[in-house]
Chains A and B, each alone.
Chain A
Amino acid sequence: MGMQVTIHEASRLLREKQISSVELTKGYLERINQVEPKVRAMVTVTDEVALEQARRADESIAAGNGSPLTGIPIAIKDVICTRGVRTTCSAKMLENFVPPYDATVMEKLNADGAVMVGKANMDEFAMGSSTENSALFPTHNPWDLGRVPGGSSGGSAVAVAAGEAVAALGSDTGGSIRQPAGFCSVVGLKPTYGRVSRYGLVAFASSLDQIGPLSQDVTDCAIIMNAIAGHDKRDSTSIPEPVPDYTKCLKADLKGMRLGVPKEYYVEGMQPEVAEAMKAAHKKLEELGAVLEETSLPSTPYALAVYYIIAPSEASANLARYDGVKYGYSYAGDSMWESLEKTRGNGFGPEVKRRIMLGTYALSAGYYDAWYVKAQRVRTLIRREFDAAFEKYDALITPTSPTVPFKIGEKTDDPLAMYLSDVCTLPINIAGVPGISVPAGFADGLPIGMQIIGKHFGEETLLRIAYAYEQATEWHKRRVEV
């Protein structure tokens, strides 16, 4: 069938009755069947749910109702709770967990009539940068099946890139939407912390986690943001700010925009092809009317350490809930302690255990001030530097990752090398600001992403810059053969 349409294209076809949602959905399910043996992006294909939702979407459209998402096939990262549909977090611990409720973002997508075609693979509990930490199976990058798709939302990014879904939801704690978006040549947005409700998102690091869209273009990203953003009384960290119409800010010029280029993100060790692609992107942004200027965020080199103390500390607390009593994998030992320790020893994978251990250490008596509180203080410095930068600039421009996608297995034995692939995306979560990755070129057929960083609630500015750049380039139109 090979149909690959954007949300705005599909929505028009549906409204003009050129296609029904059932037809569209069947096409995508067929495509999943076809490419899934090669890319393995899906943990669960939800064909029955999808066809039922598609039938209802068709009724709603026939009655003249519906939203831009009505009838659109979408993939959901398997960390987002879906009522009655297994939500595994790609973890042995939750392999058979069926949530009794929907995440707020799912309630919103369902109310809009979206169609869920599947639950997408990820690094176990969203901890990783390559989707190789999935306890179920690794996902392959469609641009080169021997390479990783990035992570942790690797399944979501591949589902969009390989045409298994029109768009997808992911989650981003340190780059988990943007880095795989960059590695797979799709658009990925991490919203401002608190912009999208985290209710029903299985918790990894609660002060850093955000849900966001992965899509084929910037317009689709804006459409999904319209659907999922907003305050939720069930998430006390969600912000009671009105949600603008994000599609209204998409303008094809950047006249008067001031963009900062923070030199610390253009580091040694950055692949030369990525540096070249970024130079070309800077030039393009200038042609569109923006004024670019080199700037400095001097605390950037400390972001990796700050992140890998704070995120594991929060994870060690959040993952204490997996005790084999209420849900999930459970080891039946002779005593309570044996049951608990073997449940967690057998049920968690190597990276999850590594991070729980790291976090437990940083929070433990005698080390709490020296590691955890110290990291929180440096977090303040990083945040202040972003605040100061946004006094001068509308946005900051960086690469999404210092390299193109690496080979499967290349970094699995070296945690630090793996962590470094998120070096450009981590500081954004630390500061809580929004960041978007857009396709910005290829090196030997492998995707390169550009990251645009904005101030708190600066999503409209990010989308405008991303849209103008996209309209002036062809990268997002390049489709991958699988």
Chain B
Amino acid sequence: MKLSREEVLHIARLARIDLTEEEITRYSEQLSNLLENFEVLQQVDTTDVPPTAQSVDLQSIMREDGVAPSLPADDILANAPRREGDCFRVRAVFE
């Protein structure tokens, strides 16, 4: 299990993380080493074993739809890096 430079760049792109050259090299080594260790899982016989997504037996929790106050817009926008009126300001999505 060896992750190539291209694979690391592909993962970084999927995760939307800009990596430095030094990080690309380091993560390529470290992730390869970790995945090699995790390959032990392939030895385990899991025929007919269903996957567990969470550990308690709760399913599809529903509640009545009700009207309740939400937080004031100003409180939410107080943390915005860039704000315009009652909106978050972002870079153009379509050029």
Q: Contact residues of A with B, CB < 8 Å? A: 96-98, 100-101, 192-194, 207, 233, 236-237, 239, 299, 301-302, 304-306, 308-309, 316, 320, 324-330, 332-342, 344-346, 348, 350, 353-354, 356-358, 360-361, 364, 370-371, 373-381, 383, 415-416, 430-433, 456
User: How many residues of B are counted as interface, with CB atoms below 8 angstroms from the partner's CB atoms?
Assistant: 51
Which residues of chain A are within 8 angstroms of B49 by Cβ–Cβ distance?
A: 377-378, 380-381
Which of A309, A316, A342 meets B15, CB within 8 Å?
A: A316
**Cα–Cα distance between A358 and B30 once the two chains are bound (Å):** 10
Write out, one digit per residue, whether chain B residues 39-77 have a CB within 8 A of any chain A CB (1) or not (0). Answer: 011101010011111111010010100000001000110
Tell whether A383 pairs with B15 under 8 Å between CB atoms, given A353-B23, A354-B31: no
User: Whole-angstrom distance from the CB of A129 to the nearest CB of chain B?
Assistant: 15
A sample of 18 cross-chain residue pairs with beta-carbon separation below 8 angstroms, ordered by A number, consists of A97-B79, A98-B78, A100-B78, A237-B54, A239-B58, A309-B38, A325-B81, A328-B79, A344-B16, A345-B18, A345-B19, A345-B20, A357-B17, A357-B27, A361-B3, A380-B50, A381-B44, A432-B54
**Cα–Cα distance between A383 and B34 once the two chains are bound (Å):** 23
Interface pair B58/A194, CB less than 8 Å apart: yes
User: Whole-angstrom distance from the CB of B72 to the nearest CB of chain A?
Assistant: 8
Which of A337, A339, A376 meets B53, CB within 8 Å?
A: A376
| 7 residue pairs, one from A and one from B, having the closest CB atoms | A432-B55, A345-B18, A376-B51, A330-B81, A327-B79, A100-B75, A377-B46
Q: How many A-B residue pairs have CB under 8 A?
A: 167
**Cα–Cα distance between A336 and B54 once the two chains are bound (Å):** 35
User: Whole-angstrom distance from the CB of B35 to the nearest CB of chain A?
Assistant: 8
Which residues of chain B are within 8 angstroms of A339 by Cβ–Cβ distance?
A: 91
Tell whether A302 pairs with B40 under 8 Å between CB atoms, given A207-B53, A345-B17: yes
Tell me the dominant secondary structure on chain A's binding face.
Answer: helix
Which residues of chain B are within 8 angstroms of A338 by Cβ–Cβ distance?
A: 18
User: Whole-angstrom distance from the CB of B19 to the nearest CB of chain A?
Assistant: 6
**Cα–Cα distance between A361 and B10 once the two chains are bound (Å):** 9
Tell whether A356 pairs with B54 under 8 Å between CB atoms, given A302-B41, A326-B79: no
**Cα–Cα distance between A328 and B79 once the two chains are bound (Å):** 7
Interface pair B41/A374, CB less than 8 Å apart: yes
Interface pair B56/A430, CB less than 8 Å apart: no
**Cα–Cα distance between A342 and B16 once the two chains are bound (Å):** 8
Interface pair A361/B90, CB less than 8 Å apart: no
Tell whether A416 pairs with B34 under 8 Å between CB atoms, given A380-B52, A383-B52: yes
Which residues of chain A are within 8 angstroms of B41 by Cβ–Cβ distance?
A: 302, 305-306, 309, 371, 374-375, 378
**Cα–Cα distance between A307 and B40 once the two chains are bound (Å):** 13
Which residues of chain A are within 8 angstroms of B93 by Cβ–Cβ distance?
A: 336
Add 15 more A-B contacts to A327-B79, A432-B55 (CB < 8 A): A98-B78, A239-B56, A320-B16, A336-B92, A340-B16, A344-B17, A345-B18, A345-B20, A356-B17, A361-B35, A364-B11, A376-B53, A378-B49, A381-B44, A381-B46
User: Whole-angstrom distance from the CB of A232 to the nearest CB of chain B?
Assistant: 11
Which residues of chain B are within 8 angstroms of A306 by Cβ–Cβ distance?
A: 41
Name B2-35 residues within 8 Å CB distance of A: 3, 8, 10-12, 14-20, 23, 27, 30-31, 33-35
Which residues of chain B are within 8 angstroms of A456 by Cβ–Cβ distance?
A: 55-56
**Cα–Cα distance between A381 and B42 once the two chains are bound (Å):** 14
Which residues of chain A are within 8 angstroms of B88 by Cβ–Cβ distance?
A: 325-326
Interface pair A357/B50, CB less than 8 Å apart: no
> Most B CB atoms within 10 A — which of A302, A358, A433?
A358
**Cα–Cα distance between A192 and B27 once the two chains are bound (Å):** 34
Tell whether A341 pairs with B78 under 8 Å between CB atoms, given A239-B58, A302-B40, A305-B41: no
Which of A302, A350, A358, A431 meets B44, CB within 8 Å?
A: A302
Which residues of chain B are within 8 angstroms of A96 by Cβ–Cβ distance?
A: 79
Which residues of chain A are within 8 angstroms of B90 by Cβ–Cβ distance?
A: 325, 336
Interface pair A233/B56, CB less than 8 Å apart: no
User: Whole-angstrom distance from the CB of B2 to the nearest CB of chain A?
Assistant: 13
Tell whether A308 pairs with B78 under 8 Å between CB atoms, given A239-B56, A325-B90, A379-B52: no
Interface pair A98/B79, CB less than 8 Å apart: yes
> Most B CB atoms within 10 A — which of A97, A324, A345, A430?
A345
Interface pair B50/A344, CB less than 8 Å apart: no
Which residues of chain B are within 8 angstroms of A329 by Cβ–Cβ distance?
A: 81
User: Whole-angstrom distance from the CB of A373 to the nearest CB of chain B?
Assistant: 5
Tell whether A237 pairs with B58 under 8 Å between CB atoms, given A326-B88, A361-B31: yes
Q: A420 — nearest CB in chain B belongs to which residue?
A: B37
Which residues of chain A are within 8 angstroms of B55 by Cβ–Cβ distance?
A: 193, 207, 383, 430-433, 456
Which residues of chain B are within 8 angstroms of A330 by Cβ–Cβ distance?
A: 81-82
Interface pair B80/A327, CB less than 8 Å apart: yes
Tell whether A237 pairs with B56 under 8 Å between CB atoms, given A100-B71, A376-B51: yes
